[in-house]
A and B are shown apart, each in its own frame.
Chain A
Amino acid sequence: MTVFRVALAVARKDLRSEWRTRELVPALGQFVVLALLIGNFGFQIDSRNAATIAPGILWMALVFAGLVAFGRTFAAEREQASLEALLMTPASPVAIFAGKAVAALTMLVLCEAVLLPALSLFFGTPFSFDLVAAVLLATIGLAVLGVLFAAIVARVRAREMLLPLLTLPLWIPFIIAGGQAVQSAFGLPGSYQEAIGLLVDFDILFVVLTSLAARFVLDE
């Protein structure tokens, strides 16, 4: 069985189990809408300053939704002790990691399908292809790093506390480049092309690095 087929099988398993319970994605969707609500009360938003404030609220909501989503990635495996069984199969740990990352990425993209239109609706910011592209590119990097560190903390006590502490600093490059790209997409100064180029570079760098590290994290 090739790596790709194993990865797809793992991703399909995770997504099917999510489809049957429908727990995480609705919760994430509700979470991001609540985050927008809090942003609305925390700032005095009007049509003039919405474009400067909305990118910040977008990334705050997305990052914390991501932490919730990635923290749940290994929850079922831990509760059922099925990760050991998964790792005992001849499937390579890299393929299992890739499958987990694809499933988590898909769930976060579904959450963004609520977040981005809701942001445009509530804050009146433009909903454009540029915005979607920037957020999706950043999501790839957030997902691979998030799932790698979720795997790291899965067997550590106080994992809810550790996951944000480890993941957030490593996400900063994506927030910097993604933040710049979204600001440009909302018409604020800054080069969109440059920011998107950086996002693509970071995606490639961290997809390669996390795949290399997955062997050491998902083992025994």
Chain B
Amino acid sequence: MNRHEKAAVAAVALMLLAGAAIFLFAPTDFLQGPVQRIFYLHVSSAIAAYGCFAVVLVGGIVYLRNESASADRFARAGALVGVIFTTVTLVMGMLWAKPIWGTYWTWDARLTSTLVLWIIYAGYLLVRRLAEPGRQAARLGAVVGVFGFIDVPVVHFSVTWWRTHHPGPIVVNDALPAEMLATFFLTLACTLVLAAVMIAIRYRIETLQDEKENVLLAAQVVPARQPEAAR
């Protein structure tokens, strides 16, 4: 087993531990019942997604400053993992909203901005897939990553004058009993480890892909672009 496989096994074990805490240790919510248990993973994966997009932002800024190829690989890895965690957040949120709010979706500030977040970074991944790999694509990706990060608070701010249904931050004002709080922080820590491991693995894949690209370029096996260059 190599480093990455060991890390993956550890991350999965930690998530199983978090699952045990969520279903066995945490008490059932008096008002919402078992549905409330969605909260632990929902909020944790939202925070993990923001962390991943912060990686995209920092990677993009570093790339624009000094064209470091590893910063760009971190940005690509962060975007993919972030989109996965945003998807988890959205799906779990909708599953929670159906019994509690009576609808899967409402155009609330936080739901709208999370959906926009998902769309922007899914667009980022598409740009990286469609653009010819290289400096140009990395720069474009960096600009998209920076703008995407700025746009989300802007969208959130601009819809907050509409009445918001989303529960406010309940972790910070100690409205949660100690067992729930402990379960939440355990789940958060495990989710963040999982996100970090996923980014590390994806970073390795991106490195290998870049190496393959360089080998192909060095061997001059890209005849498709030659006529254009000769023109």
> Does chain B have a CB within 8 A of A177?
yes
Known interface pairs A172-B155, A173-B155, A176-B158; A217-B140 also in contact (CB < 8 Å): yes
| Residue B143 lies at the interface, judged by CB distance under 8 Å to chain A | yes
A216 touches B143 (CB 8 A): yes
Which residues of chain B have C-beta atoms less than 8 A from A177's C-beta?
158
A141 to chain B, nearest CB (A): 11
The answer, yes or no, to whether B146 is at the interface (CB within 8 Å) is yes
Contact between B127 and A162, CB atoms less than 8 A apart: yes
- In angstroms, Cα B131 to Cα A153, docked, is 8
Chain A 202-213, CB-CB to B under 8 Å as 1, else 0, gives 100100010001
Residue with the highest number of chain B CB atoms closer than 10 Å, among A170, A176, A202, A217: A170
Query: Which interface class (under 10, 10 to 19, 20 to 34, 35 or more) fits B?
Result: 20 to 34
Contact of A157 with B by CB under 8 A:
yes
A157 touches B130 (CB 8 A): yes
- The answer to whether B142 and A216 touch across the interface, beta carbons within 8 angstroms, is yes
Chain A residues lying within 8 Å of B64, measured Cβ to Cβ, are: 216
Are A166 and B127 in contact, with the CB atoms below 8 A? Answer: yes
Q: Which listed residue, A169, A209, A219, touches B116 by the CB 8 Å rule?
A: A169
Which residue from A156, A169, A213 sits with its C-beta under 8 Å from B143? A213
Q: Across the interface, name the chain B residue whose C-beta is closest to A214.
A: B143
Q: Counting CB contacts under 8 A, is B46 at the interface?
A: no
Contacts of A85 in B (CB 8 A): none
CB neighbours of A202 from chain B (8 A): 154, 158
- Give Cα A148–Cα B146 distance, bound, in whole angstroms: 13
B120→A170 contact, CB < 8 A = yes
Give the contacting residue for B127; candidates A156, A168, A217; CB below 8 A: A156
Determine if A198 is an interface residue (Cβ-Cβ < 8 Å): yes
> Does B161 sit within 8 A of A, measured CB to CB?
yes
Chain B residues lying within 8 Å of A172, measured Cβ to Cβ, are 116, 151, 155
| Contact yes or no, B126 A198, CB < 8 A | no
B127 touches A170 (CB 8 A): no
Q: B119 interface residue, CB < 8 Å from A? A: yes
Q: Does A155 contact B (CB under 8 A)?
A: yes
Contacts of A216 in B (CB 8 A): 64, 139, 142-143
CA distance A145 to B154 in the complex (A): 14
Q: Given A168, A173, A213, which contacts B158 in the complex, CB threshold below 8 Å?
A: A173
A165 in the interface (beta carbon within 8 A):
yes
- Name the A residues within 8 Å of B144 (CB-CB): 152, 166
A173 CA to B143 CA, complexed, in Å: 18
A194 at the interface (CB under 8 A from B): yes
Which one of A152, A155, A157 has the greatest number of beta carbons of chain B within 10 Å? A152
The answer to whether B126 and A162 have CB atoms under 8 Å apart is yes
Pick the contact of B140 from A145, A156, A168, A176 — CB < 8 Å? A156
A interface footprint on B141-163 (CB within 8 Å = 1, 0 otherwise): 01110111011001100110100
Which residues of chain A are near B161, meaning CB under 8 Å? 194
Q: Does A158 contact B (CB under 8 A)?
A: yes
Asked if A158 contacts B130 (CB within 8 A), the reply is yes
Residue in contact with A209 in the complex, picked from B126, B132, B147, CB distance below 8 Å: B147
Whole-angstrom distance between the Cβ of B118 and the nearest chain A Cβ: 9
Least CB distance from A121 to B in Å reads 31
B120 to chain A, nearest CB (A): 5
Chain B positions 120 through 138: 1 when the CB is less than 8 Å from some CB of chain A, otherwise 0: 1001001100111000110
B146/A213 in contact, CB under 8 A: yes
B139 touches A217 (CB 8 A): yes
Smallest CB gap from B120: residue in A: A169
Is A209 a contact of B127 with CB atoms below 8 Å? Answer: no
**Interchain CB contact under 8 A, A156 and B154:** no
Least Cβ distance of A76 to chain B in Å? 18
Closest 3 CB pairs of A and B: A165-B123, A156-B131, A169-B119
Please give the residue numbers on chain A whose beta carbons come within 8 Å of chain B beta carbons, in ascending order.
Answer: 145, 148, 152-153, 155-158, 161-162, 165-166, 168-170, 172-173, 176-177, 194, 198, 202, 205, 209, 213, 216-217, 219
List, sorted by A's number, 9 A–B pairs whose CB atoms are closer than 8 Å: A145-B147, A161-B130, A165-B119, A169-B116, A172-B155, A176-B155, A205-B154, A213-B147, A216-B139
